[in-house]
């Protein structure tokens, strides 16, 4: 009894039953039977007919809730499937070998002489270029020469 037509049919049948009870109640001579028939008609009027009408509203509300729950469940399932896909992708990535370390820059073979020249420029004692008239040109050489001149003058 899920269709609205079936609910309507039940309500109509209950209404007809009530009407027949009321008709037969007037034809019955026994007071006790009449009282029982009146109670049955009242119960149909007060309980069964409104219940059938309310049942339709309740059923529509339940159907709506069911649809909303289905939509939420489908959305949750979609999220779960997406998460499973991400997990599978991450597991596949974990199986891959790590990328090789970046290649180091090649060592400059001229770095040693460059460093030597820079240190000599900063701290002196650079040998004089070949054929230079000034001697070595370093502070150290100048000090040696001065010492040598002072030894010559003392002698």
Q: How many CA atoms lie within 13 A of 30 on its CB side?
A: 4
Asked whether residue 12 is domain-assigned, the answer is: yes
Residue 132's pLDDT band (cuts 50, 70, 90) = low
Asked whether residue 115 is domain-assigned, the answer is: no
Domain limits for position 68: 4-95
Asked whether residue 108 is domain-assigned, the answer is: no
**Continuous H helices in the chain:** 4-27, 31-43, 49-95, 111-123, 139-154
Nearest-angstrom CA–CA distance, 79 and 77: 5
Domain end point (choices 73, 95, 117): 95
Q: Are residues 88 and 134 in the same domain?
A: no
Reported as a single tens digit per residue, the pLDDT across 94-113 is: 887 877 888 888 888 888 88
Q: Are residues 85 and 147 in the same domain?
A: no
Residue 118's pLDDT band (cuts 50, 70, 90) = confident
Q: Looking at the 3D structure of the chain, how many domains does it have?
A: 2
Asked whether residue 62 is domain-assigned, the answer is: yes
User: What pTM does this model have?
Assistant: 0.36
């Amino acid at each position: 009894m899920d269709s609205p037509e079936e609910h309507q049919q039940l309500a109509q049948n209950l209404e007809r039953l009530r009407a027949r009870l009321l008709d037969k109640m007037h034809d019955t001579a026994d007071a006790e039977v009449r009282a029982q028939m009146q109670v049955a008609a009242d119960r149909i009027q007060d309980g069964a007919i409104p219940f059938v009408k309310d049942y339709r509203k309740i059923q529509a509300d339940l159907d709506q809730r069911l649809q909303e729950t289905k939509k939420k469940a489908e959305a949750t399932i979609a999220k779960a499937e997406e998460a499973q896909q991400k997990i599978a992708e991450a597991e596949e990535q974990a199986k891959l070998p790590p990328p090789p370390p970046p290649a180091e820059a090649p060592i400059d073979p001229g770095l040693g002489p460059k460093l030597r020249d820079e240190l000599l420029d900063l701290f002196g004692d650079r040998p004089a270029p070949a054929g230079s008239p000034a001697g070595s040109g370093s502070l150290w050489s100048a000090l040696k020469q001065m010492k040598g001149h002072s030894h010559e003058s003392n002698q």
